Amino acid sequence: MASAIKPSELLATFRARLREAGVTIQRTPPEVSLRTMLAFYENERIEGCDPAQGADTLLFHWGTFDWGNGGEFELGLTRQVRRPDQTADQAIWQLHLTYRFIPTEALVSLGEGDRSSGSPSEVPELRRFMESTKAYATVAQAKPQGVTVDYEPLVEEELDVSA
């Protein structure tokens, strides 16, 4: 039976699961920690975050992005939860596991894409999709330029509707 963790402990619990699996994200191939995160989503429930209500989802994503520090190719998983312990404007939080690579021509040519899973029962299908992508096949065993694990609120930019 899946354990229930507090929303505020999601990052610490995921890091503990990485340690228990013997995964050091800076030294372990991306495929190992990505599979660990898939299992974490599949087996660990978060108090008050029901996947059937869209309150706990998982997203596999890749692409070349420039977040203000120069472009990088990224591949990762993001677990998005709607935290019942937060106010409505800060209720959506994201646990990111993101690998970053120098954007070679081969990586940039992979474009960008994503696929989400709204239920732990969909993890096998998401895993098959992830492992079938050229993006995953290209970097699953590669040494990244960097890797991050973070947990932060989703901040949606306000749109200026007066323009």
- The DSSP-derived string for 46-87 is ETTB-GGGTSEEEEEEEEEEESSS-EEEEEEEEEEEE-TTS-
Where are the domains positioned within the chain? 3-153
Per-residue pLDDT at 66: 86
Candidates 140, 136, 127, 128; CA nearest to 40 is: 127
CA 93 to CA 80: how far, in whole Å?
6
Which tens digit of pLDDT belongs to each residue from 2-56?
A: 568 998 899 999 999 999 999 999 999 999 999 999 999 999 999 999 998 889 9
* 25's tokens: 């994200």
Q: Calculate mean pLDDT across residues 114-128.
A: 96
Candidates 102, 131, 99; CA nearest to 25 is: 99
Per-residue pLDDT at 163: 42
pTM of the complete model: 0.88
158 pLDDT tier (thresholds 50, 70, 90): very low
Candidates 33, 62, 26; CA nearest to 138 is: 62
Q: Calculate mean pLDDT across residues 142-150.
A: 94
CA 140 to CA 30: how far, in whole Å?
5
Burial 134-159 (b: 16+ CB within 10 A, else e): ebbebbbeeebeebebebeeeeeeee
Candidates 90, 86, 80; CA nearest to 60 is: 80
